[in-house]
């Protein structure tokens, strides 16, 4: 297929045609799926129990990120692995 149906970038004409046929044949279903996906977030966000679970999950992730940051970065370091110290020393060398 490389010489006959594909161009130099490897985009095959047969694949593009099949993709376009798929979109054309399934367009109403794809639009329906898109609307269901968009509005399902509103349904879940109106649910109080879902909000509580979501908030607790986000807090756990935040605490994990802060915990990992304190392990890998000593207190007072702005950047990981003493990068800020090397930047400060280079600035002091220049000035």
* Closest alpha carbon to 16 in 34, 33, 31, 1: 1
Question: Where in the chain are the domains?
Answer: 1-46, 48-95
Residue 29 has a pLDDT of: 84
Q: What is the pLDDT of residues 11-51, one digit of tens each?
A: 566 666 777 787 778 888 888 888 888 777 767 666 777 77
* Closest alpha carbon to 17 in 1, 41, 29: 1
- pTM given for the model: 0.35
Structure-derived torsion over alpha carbons of residues 18, 19, 24, 30, reported in degrees to the nearest 10: 140
């Amino acid at each position: 297929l490389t010489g006959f149906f594909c161009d130099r970038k490897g985009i095959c004409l047969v694949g593009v045609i099949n993709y376009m046929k798929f979109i054309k044949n399934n367009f109403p279903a794809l639009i329906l799926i898109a609307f269901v996906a968009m509005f399902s977030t509103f349904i879940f966000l109106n649910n109080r129990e879902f909000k509580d679970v979501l908030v607790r999950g986000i807090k756990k992730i935040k605490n994990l990120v802060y915990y990992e940051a304190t392990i890998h970065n000593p207190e007072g370091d702005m950047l990981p692995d003493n990068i800020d110290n090397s930047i400060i020393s280079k600035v002091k060398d220049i000035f």
